Structure 1
Amino acid sequence: MKALQGVEGHVEWVEAERPTCDAGQVRIRVAAAGLNRADLLQRAGLYPPPPGASPYLGLECAGVIEEVGPGADWRVGDRVCALLAGGGMAEEVVVDARHVLPVPEGLSLHEAAAIPEVYATAWLNLFQLGGLKVGEKVLVHAGASGVGSAAIQLCKAFGNPVWVSVGSPERLSYCQGLGAEGGVVRNQNLDDLDGLGPFDVILDPVGASYAQLNLTLLARDGRWVIIGLMGGRKVELDLALVLGKRLQVTGSTLRNRDDGFKAELLQELGQQVWPLFSEGRLKPQLVDTYPVAFAEAAYAELETNQVSGKLVLVIDDTLV
């Protein structure tokens, strides 16, 4: 089979060994795979996969099951999407059967490829680690990103008013169209967030450059969940604010979680979130698709930080 590999800052469609499908696993013929910022880091050699994971790119995919290992509760021919630690950008991928969910009714395989990673990330960090309760206020930095788009829709669906910081007025309008109450453009009026808070939970892929701002914006007993370091990794903080407000600061990654943790997360997503796609209350924000032959162009577009929503690589265009 073939798979997409990061090589010194670019990608190559290379011959790869076909993995075996063991007990508790399924083999998926991949139709499409979603792009994520983690893929950019892996392509650059900065984010190696966890031990034992596929060395190839791709943290989410959708396709059709073509082999079922002993004990796996799926059938050949099932249309599914999957959360992966790697290897989704390949003709085939083998995955723990517990990390697979059915394609929601009404969605194409291309759309389904855009939802596992971002919705799992948003749900984990807002509702599990962030402990969101109905009515609590949320701030999402980089609100027009794939994770941000998912987070806004989840907040709206579960009764949490949400605000955003974004890179342009157009991206702010996009977020408001998804359900955000409002927000700020980071290079124009970031300080205006002070008049929109305080916030109970802040979902933050930026890190150091927003750190002190986040502490001032959080309400008493607020939760700051850090999921990325786009704005740097080192910062000096006023810990008196952390103590005085009884704040919780949580660092979070999903890729290197163990199989059992991911299985429980996917089970909860299947129960709480997946039905909302069929009801039309959640929608994949699929911006564009690229044939795998044009993968480098897809990565270049994602790297501009101007994508509102998700990009998807089409691996097998005979599967829809």
Structure 2
Amino acid sequence: MKAMQQQGPGGPLEWTDAPDPVAGHGEVVVDIVATAVNNADRLQAAGHYPPPLGESPIIGLECSGVIAHVGDGVEGWAVGDEVCALLAGGGYAERVAVPATQLLPVPRGIDLADAAALPEAVCTVWTAIRDVAEPAVEGLALVHGGSGGIGTMAVQLLTARGYRIATTASARHHRMVRMLGAEVAVDYRSEDFVAAVHRATEGRGAELIIDVIGADYLERNLASLALDGTLTVIAAQRGTEAEIDLRWLMQRRITLRAMTLRARPRTGRGGKADVIDEVRREVWPLLEAGTIAPVIGAKLRLTHANEALALMGGDESPGGKIVLVR
């Protein structure tokens, strides 16, 4: 098969020959129709985020396509089924082997290529919100990076859960995030999100914050939280180290949580199989009802992955996900 591969960390991706994937026990091989770009892809391409041990070195954490081969021990899936899949790697290719427990059916009403934008964002957001209490009356959640692939899904899912939403996003994306459900849109370049949150809540603060920025926002995130509020960190785009005054956490009864998806085991408690089962049961009906939807900002050919990675990291990054179509 062909795949977009690097000769070395930091080098450009090239459309070159790669070994054909083989379905092991409990796995299927998917003929990839599309994949989607994630921030982790940019980090891996730069040499900063290697795949977990034993996983494909090819970039790409999700895909959609058609099952081409079913391995031993797989039940409930057949050759020809249209699926989308959560991957630990291998999406920027013509085919990929994936555990059957990480497959999802393409939701009714969603285009097969567009479905490539779902697994990583939906599973990431679900792990961040599944254990959070239902919001209080007028309860507000702050979503950082609300115009990105993760953020657009978080805004929609938290809106569906009953939260009022505040989000940080560049000014050119404010109309989009408001259409998705955000009540308060804060330009992170020129506005103070702490002040905006407190204005929107009459000084109470946010019950929940979903953060993709990390250390650079930690102090302001804590200042934005209400009593008994929860800060959940799912990425650290601007730093991984920061100091915390534990008295502040104790006095305000704050819960600080952090999580990742790619490094989770395939099976076992809290593994990817559990996440997929929950997402299929809890989130897929919302997609099929049209309550939430993937937000596609751009579509490029898979062979243009270098341009897509540059676009995602640039000032003109589109809102939502960038999908790469074969």
Does the CA-based 8 Å contact 2:215-2:240 persist in structure 1?
A: yes
Task: Return 5+ residue gaps in structure 1 as ranges.
Answer: 316-320
Amino acid at match of 1:231: R
Q: Report the Cα distance in structure 1 between the residues aligned to 2:243 and 2:160, rounded to whole angstroms.
A: 36
How many residues are matched? 312
Q: Retained in 2: the 8 A contact 1:81–1:103?
A: yes
Q: Distance in 2 between matches of 1:11 and 1:138?
A: 38
Q: Is the 8 A contact 1:216 1:241 kept in 2?
A: no
Aligned 8 A contact 2:33 2:65 in 1: yes
Task: State the distance in 2 between where 1:207 and 1:294 align.
Answer: 30
Q: Deviations over 1:286-316 (max 9, x none)?
A: 111111221111111111153210001112x
Which one is further off, 79-88 or 238-247?
238-247
Distance 1:46 1:188 in 2: 30
Q: 2:302 aligns with which of 282, 285, 292?
A: 292
Per the normalisation by structure 1, the TM-score is: 0.94
Asked if the contact 1:212/1:238 (under 8 Å) is kept, the reply is no
Counterpart-to-counterpart distance in 2, 1:230 and 1:295: 21
Given that 2:4 and 2:303 are in contact with CA atoms closer than 8 Å, whether structure 1 keeps it comes out as no
8 Å contact 2:146–2:168 — kept in the other structure? yes
Q: 2: CA distance between counterparts of 1:206 and 1:163?
A: 16
Secondary structure of the 1:188 match is coil
What are the superposed Cα offsets for residues 159-210 of structure 1, whole Å, 9 maximum, x if unpaired?
Answer: 1221101122x21221111011113111221243332341111100111121
Distance in 2 between the 1:143 and 1:132 partners? 21
Kindly indicate whether residue 244 of structure 2 is the aligned counterpart of residue 237 of structure 1.
yes
Name the structure 2 match of 1:258. 265
TM (normalized to structure 2)?
0.92
Aligned to 1:193: 197
Alpha carbons 1:184, 1:193 under 8 Å: kept: no
CA–CA separation in structure 2 for the residues paired with 1:156 and 1:247: 22
| Cα pair 1:29 1:93 within 8 Å, conserved | yes
CA RMSD of aligned residues (A): 1.3
Deviations, residues 221-267 of structure 1 (Å, cap 9, x unaligned): 21111112222222233322111011111121100000111101101
**181, 184, 197: which one pairs with 2:183?**
181
- 1:172 corresponds to: 174
Larger CA deviation: 178-187 vs 26-35: 178-187
Residue 31 of structure 1: SS of its match in structure 2? strand
Measure the CA separation in 1 of the matches of 2:305 and 2:290: 30
The answer to whether the Cα contact below 8 Å between 1:5 and 1:43 also exists between their aligned partners in 2 is no
Matched, 1:106 2:113: no
| Structure 2 unaligned regions, length at least 5 | none
1:219 aligns with 2:223: no
- 2:34 is matched with which residue: 29, 32, 35? 32
5 Å matches for 1:265-304? Answer: 265-304=275-314
Larger mean CA deviation between 8-17 and 256-265 belongs to 8-17
The letter of the residue matching 2:134 is K
Instruction: Report the equivalent of 1:11.
Output: 13
Q: What is the aligned-residue identity percentage?
A: 39
Distance 2:187 2:305 in 1: 30
* Residue 310 (1) aligns with residue 321 (2): yes
